[in-house]
Amino acid sequence: MSTAARFDFAPLLPAGLPAPAARWTGLAKYSFVGGNNDPDQVPVDGLVDAVTAVLRREGRALATYNLAHGPQGYLPLREFLTKKLKRDAAIDCSADDILIVSGSLQALDLVNQTLLARGDTVLIEQETYQGSLNRLTRLGVNAVGIPLDDQGMRMDALAAALADHKSRGITPKYIYTIPTVQNPTGSILPETRRAEMLRLSQQYGVPILEDDCYADLIWNGQRPPAIYAMARNNSVIHIGSFSKSIAPALRVGFIVAPWEMMSRMLALKTDAGSGALEQMVLAEYCAPHFATHVPKLTRGLRAKLDTLMEALNEQFGTSAEFEVPAGGIFLWVKLPDNVDTLKLYQAALAAGVAINPGPEWSTNKAHAGSRLRLCFASPSHQQIREGVAALAEVCRREFGVPARSANVEKQARA
Ligand SMILES: Cc1ncc(COP(=O)(O)O)c(C=O)c1O
């Protein structure tokens, strides 16, 4: 080790940086956090075949930025998406309407950079994706939460918020929605509400940002058309991802947008293209296999959800309340009011159980204070059962909830 004094970067840092990141300390033993997928469901063999085939055939194209397919991404992947979006979401678009990005997080950044300035207002589902909420907070944007019910965003509440903002001379920059398997609540916005949202969007001149990254993971495979597909006036930006249907570590997402937005986002996408190998492999794998891979994946996810719900019922009894989600990888759970899930999160982590505390996933911190989000895709069935038991133990110790442990109840019944 050198004895020279360490260089001090602190005086160089500009104002307004986010708080520094903590060092990575690894995943918890029982990890119910994040949007991770089921490791056993990554189609490894299919991806190996795809990478070999596409590299042999087109590997020389890697010598050119964007594989010489232009800044919107690898053409066969965009062509796959046009067919998939037509079949599944009723979206009529061409490859020219699609931009491949480095995960839908980059899509969110590009939309935000294009449309938002400090002090702007965005209407957002009250319970929502933390990554979207944090981005808006960081940009100094006012994120106004619209309450949800078991069918997603409430249109009466959206209408009231739009009217209220209009009366104050404020035009929100966009309405952000995760309509098809909402994160974290797991609902699907019915077609009638989609139509009503479009009507309100038109009436108030506010575009819609439709984040559809869970749309492939529906238990019964039935989904309403995308809001993008129902719009008649180019007022919707649609974003999607391969993170939830294939694998999040690939970092491949996409945006479908009118050229007016697309051309602005392209001007802001200064990374010289998203990773080409991932795009090539996905196009090669998905064209023949996506349609058979997804139902297999969702069957496995549904089985894990059942294990999680059984474990919660067994360990927490009536203390844990939840609606059965329509698909996806999350369960949104309500515990009794006296449970503070931000505190539970700390205590559980010390015991090796990672959960997402509700207040981080809501604009209404009080409403979400005793709620939590559990990802059931990445832990195994056994980890789900053990992790929920460990969580119940911590929760009972810290908050007296559940009142009795499942073991004591089993002994009492025996
Ligand atoms: C609603 C929503 N949007 C976007 C993302 C970002 O996904 P990715 O960047 O992996 O495509 C996530 C991830 O969990 C999400 O839940």
Q: Is the confidence at residue 346, as pLDDT, over 90?
A: yes
Say what the pLDDT of residue 291 is: 97
Tell me the three state secondary structure of residue 134. Answer: helix
What one-character-per-residue DSSP string does 323-390 give? PPPSBSSEEEEE--TT--HHHHHHHHHHTTEE-EEGGGGBS-HHHHTTEEEEE-SSS-HHHHHHHHHH
Q: Is the confidence at residue 409, as pLDDT, over 80?
A: no
Length of the chain: 414
Taking only the tens place, the pLDDT of each residue in 86-95 is: 999 999 999 9
Q: Is the confidence at residue 3, as pLDDT, over 90?
A: no
Quick one: pLDDT band at residue 82, thresholds 50, 70, 90?
very high
Say what the pLDDT of residue 1 is: 53
Say what the pLDDT of residue 4 is: 84
- Exposed, middle or buried: residue 225 (CB in 10 Å: 0-12, 13-18, 19+)? middle
Say what the pLDDT of residue 97 is: 98
Rounded distance, CA 144 to CA 150, Å? 20
Instruction: Compute φ and ψ for 237, nearest 5 degrees.
Output: -110, 130
Say what the pLDDT of residue 385 is: 98
What average pLDDT is seen over the chain? 96
Q: Which domains does the chain have, with CATH numbers?
A: 25-42+293-413 (3.90.1150.10), 44-289 (3.40.640.10)
Taking only the tens place, the pLDDT of each residue in 212-270 is: 999 999 999 999 999 999 999 999 999 999 999 999 999 999 999 999 999 999 999 99
Quote the ligand 1 centre to 241 CA distance (angstroms): 7
* Buried/exposed code over 100-119 (b: 16+ C-beta within 10 A; e: otherwise): bbbbbbbbbbbbbebbbeee
Tell me the three state secondary structure of residue 241. Answer: strand
Per the omega criterion (within 30 degrees of 0), is the bond before 18 cis? no
Say what the pLDDT of residue 411 is: 55
Nearest alpha carbon, ligand 1 atom 1? 129
Quick one: pLDDT band at residue 306, thresholds 50, 70, 90?
very high
Mutate-to-test residue for ligand 1 from 128, 129, 242, highest number of ligand atoms within 8 A of CB: 129
Q: Is the confidence at residue 76, as pLDDT, over 60?
A: yes
What average pLDDT does this structure show over 197-212?
A: 98
Mutate-to-test residue for ligand 1 from 102, 104, 183, highest number of ligand atoms within 8 A of CB: 104
CB atoms inside a 10 Å sphere around CB 266:
15
Say what the pLDDT of residue 404 is: 76
Quick one: pLDDT band at residue 410, thresholds 50, 70, 90?
low
Residue 235 to residues 202, 205, 261, 306, Cα–Cα distance (Å): 8, 9, 10, 39
Q: What is the reported pTM?
A: 0.96
Ligand 1 binding residues, C-beta < 6 A: 35, 103-105, 129, 131, 178, 183, 211, 213, 241, 243, 248, 253
Residue closest to 184 by CA, chosen among 293, 27, 69, 341: 341
Quote the ligand 1 centre to 193 CA distance (angstroms): 23
What average pLDDT does this structure show over 382-408?
A: 91
Quote the ligand 1 centre to 111 CA distance (angstroms): 14
Taking only the tens place, the pLDDT of each residue in 349-394 is: 999 999 999 999 999 999 999 999 999 999 999 999 999 999 999 9
What average pLDDT does this structure show over 171-190?
A: 98
Quote the ligand 1 centre to 35 CA distance (angstroms): 7
Say what the pLDDT of residue 2 is: 58
Rounded distance, CA 59 to CA 118, Å? 44
Quote the ligand 1 centre to 213 CA distance (angstroms): 6
Q: What percent of the chain has pLDDT over 90?
A: 94
* Residue with token string 């038109």: 202
